[in-house]
Amino acid sequence: MNLDLKNRKIILGVTGSIAAYKAPELARLLIKSGADVQAVITEAACNFVTPLTLETLTGHKVVYKMFNSTTDPLEHINLAKNADLLLIAPASADFIARAAAGRASDLLSAITLAYAGTVAFAPAMNTNMLNNRATQKNIKILTDEYGWNIIEPASGELACGITDKGRMESPETIVQSVTNFFNRDLEGHKIVITAGPTVEDIDPVRFISNRSSGKTGYAIARNAALRGARVVLISGPTALIPPENITVINVRSALEMRQAVLEESDDAHLVVMSAAVADFRHETIETKKIKKETQNDSLEIKLVKNPDILLEIGEKYKKSKSPVIFGFALETDNLLTNGKAKLEKKLADMIIANSAKDALEKETTKVIFIHKDGRVNETDEIPKQSLAKLILDEYLSINPLSV
Ligand code: C5P
């Protein structure tokens, strides 16, 4: 029997969606994989599944009332303290909204607020509710701002009679995702990731930068941390909130980024250069604002080339096996040819090539992996979170025994 979840304490939060009828099956499969499951259900969920069913399956008293004189008044704090994962399945639109807003209006949302570990949501709702801008915004808050996980709903027949996206993923697939959360296959690996744009100041007010959002680099950092790696994220200015449990070095210019990369790379096992480093900077940063009154009809500024950080570390470590070095190529044309040329020139172990139109400022991307050994693999259009996982899987296939 597969006991991947042995010794894992999971709080299974069940909310008021019709898919709650699948929660007992999910609890059963989690237990079968070795987990200790404590179910917490909302009052709305009691309409679809009885506490007694979950209690019988899990062997633990099921809690659902916030104010109940017979229960521990600090139940929400104590439950939150001891769990390895808080899994909300099914997650209704309303519960997702409560969690995104940081509400504590019922026991399960209070537990979610008090919980410091990994939270995963398996949404289940009607397609229109799922596609509604409010729900999409709330899901984005849960993932991008709080660093929590969404087990994407599947397409299929919904309770309302239509066939579309919104159905809770099958209990088997949810158990698989949960197992992946605990897969700490990068434990012991130090991974340095650059992300975002660099900002090259011209004077105290103006700068040159680019449209990189930093989403890919932050997604790699999040996936690596989840898998147990020691992560150093060297980030240019972005609007993103970094994941928990990593070291973040905030930088502004390419020169600052170079310094941080050189300081962190010696003992790294993998360096992923996903930042969009500005190729040029202003020759001298003016200490005072350049006044338009002092200029004629045009302003000339002299730009000088920034150091190529990827090339520099490629050369520095070309004779040693570690760190493995991955670079990116963001191109508008001839993706494959330019990517291959970049791989050779910069002495990287792999180049991840993507086109500006597929990648910039988007949640998804489509890339070509170009390996040093000549292999070339193309992905479909995938979420940047999924790309992050693929990149780290590629690294492990090159370097499984380095630690
Ligand atoms: O040469 P190009 O900018 O297209 O190369 C992109 C790759 O090189 C990315 O991995 C980027 O992080 C890295 N790079 C760098 N230093 C620069 C420019 C790009 O490390 N000055």
What gap in Å lies between CA 365 and CA 380, rounded to an integer? 8
- Domains of the chain with bracketed CATH: 9-181 (3.40.50.1950), 190-398 (3.40.50.10300)
Reported pTM: 0.76
Q: What pLDDT score does 76 carry?
A: 65
Distance 309 CA to ligand 1 centre (A): 7
- Give the whole-angstrom CA distance, residue 53 versus residue 37: 13
Q: Any alpha helices (H) in 38-101, and if so which ranges?
A: 51-58, 75-82, 93-101
43 C-alpha vs ligand 1 centroid, how far in Å? 53
Ligand 1 centroid, distance to 224 Cα (angstroms):
22
Instruction: Give the ligand 1 atom nearest the CA of 309.
Output: 20
Output the pLDDT for position 70: 61
In the chain, the N- to C-terminal Cα span, in Å, equals: 29
Task: Report whether residue 275 contacts ligand 1, using a CB cutoff of 6 Å.
Answer: yes
Active site residues: 160
The beta strand positions in 60-195, using DSSP E, are: 85-91, 118-123, 149-150, 154-157, 163-167, 190-195
pLDDT, position 342: 96
Residue having the nearest C-alpha atom to atom 17 of ligand 1: 308
Mean pLDDT by 10 residues, the chain (403 residues): 85 97 97 96 96 96 73 70 93 98 94 92 96 96 88 86 88 91 90 98 96 92 91 96 89 98 97 97 93 85 96 95 94 93 96 87 87 94 87 90 56
How confident is the model at residue 207, as a pLDDT?
A: 97
Q: Is the CB of 329 under 6 A from ligand 1?
A: yes
**Residues 267, 270, 274, 275, Cα dihedral to 10°:** 0
What is the structure's pLDDT at 190? 97
- Look at residue 383 in the predicted model and tell me its pLDDT: 81
Query: How many alpha carbons lie under 13 Å from residue 130 in its C-beta half-sphere?
Result: 19
With b meaning 16 or more CB within 10 Å and e meaning fewer, what string describes 349-383? bbbbbbbeeebbebeebbbbbbbeeeeeeeeeeeb
